[in-house]
Amino acid sequence: MIRIPAVAGSFYEADPVRLRKQIEWSFLHDLGPKSLPSVPQNKPPQRSNRFFVVPHAGYMYSGPVAAHAYYHLSLEGSPDTVIILGPNHTGLGSYVSIWHKGKWKTPLGEVSVDDEISLELVKLTEIIDIDERAHLYEHSIEVQIPFLQYLFGQNFKIVPIVIMMQTPDVAESLAEGIYKLVSSGKKDIVVLASSDLNNYEPHDKTIEKDNLAIDEIQKLDYKGLFRVVEEKDVTACGYGPIMTVLILAKKLGKKPYVLRHATSGDTSGDKSSVVGYLSVRFGD
């Protein structure tokens, strides 16, 4: 069972050579880390940065911001499994949908789904449905995979989970299941929360609204983030995934480090109607 890319050629380059150059452009951009990553051959005995927030727009807009998260992820070597939590933009599938086996294809090759971790998560949480429909046209998970392949080749597996029901209760259940897997130590697991921040308002207004959400992220207050989204009309699309990693970070004693905050206007130059982007690592 192979998942075919839905946004290659639009959100990122479809040609593998051009795609690698686009990813390198993201790392070297003024808004990016300004340096290409170098993945160590030997992983440290204990991974510090296990959870990340990373944006999911077209690379020409959000790539440099996303590159910060991937740069820090690269410093500690290839994880065994990357759980990617993304919002559901299409309305297809269940409230929480997992693609539980097979491979995902991108212009850089194929990456295997960790069927063992996927099925264990389904059992542990009791809220995840095995449902591929939610993933067929969804970009929030797909756009993360070429970055991972650029760093680690085929030396990792993924667990793709799309969340439609973005509530604190769902985040709590997901976080508890993932926490049990991470704490077991059976595999080296990293979790990516794929989300953009405020959508399609002027740059200054978006920065103002984004900062309300960032304040709650820095406090690891997942219920506070939910209130901000609901009450202050901060149109962050992946607040469910972010809430999940906030809970996980608090459970495992990780601190939030904001790596880069910018908008699409910072890369495109058009600040009349922008989308906010954020990279955060949660580490020691």
Mean pLDDT of the chain: 96
- With beta carbons less than 8 A apart as the criterion, state whether 134 and 90 touch: yes
**Percent with pLDDT over 90 in the chain:** 96
Q: How far apart are CA 19 and CA 150, in angstroms?
A: 9
**How confident is the model over 139-157, as a mean pLDDT?**
97
pLDDT digits (tens, 9 = 90+) for 97-115: 999 999 999 999 999 999 9
Q: What is the pLDDT of residue 41?
A: 80
Mean pLDDT in residue range 74-101: 96
Q: Which of 31-45, 86-100, 110-124 has the lowest mean pLDDT?
A: 31-45
262 strand-pairing partners: 277
* pLDDT confidence tier of residue 59, bands split at 50, 70 and 90: very high
pLDDT at 10 over 90: yes
Indicate whether 43 pLDDT > 80.
Answer: no
Calpha distance 46→283 (Å, rounded): 11
Residue type at position 160? P
Q: What is the CATH number of domain 2-283?
A: 3.40.830.10
| Token duo for residue 183 | 């704490």
Q: Tell me the pLDDT tens digit for each residue of 168-185.
A: 999 999 999 999 999 999
How would residue 194 be classed by pLDDT, with cut points 50, 70 and 90? very high
Q: What are the two backbone dihedrals, phi and then psi, of residue 115, each rounded to the nearest 5 degrees?
A: -65, -30
Whole-angstrom CA distances from 227 to 205, 224, 230, 234 are: 18, 5, 5, 10
Lowest mean pLDDT among 46-50, 194-198, 279-283: 46-50
pLDDT in tens, 228-279: 999 999 999 999 999 999 999 999 999 999 999 999 999 999 999 999 999 9
Residue 50 pLDDT class (50, 70, 90 cuts):
very high
Instruction: Please tell me whether residue 142 adopts helix, strand or coil conformation.
Output: helix
Torsion angle, alpha carbons of 7, 12, 17, 20, to 10: -130
Question: Range with the lowest mean pLDDT among 2-16, 31-45, 213-227?
Answer: 31-45
What CA–CA distance (Å, rounded) separates 262 from 210? 10
Helix (H) / strand (E) element for 256: namely: strand 255-263
pLDDT tens for 120-135 read 999 999 899 999 999 9
pTM: 0.97
Bridge pairing between strands 274-283 and 51-54: antiparallel
Band of pLDDT at residue 42, cut at 50, 70 and 90: confident
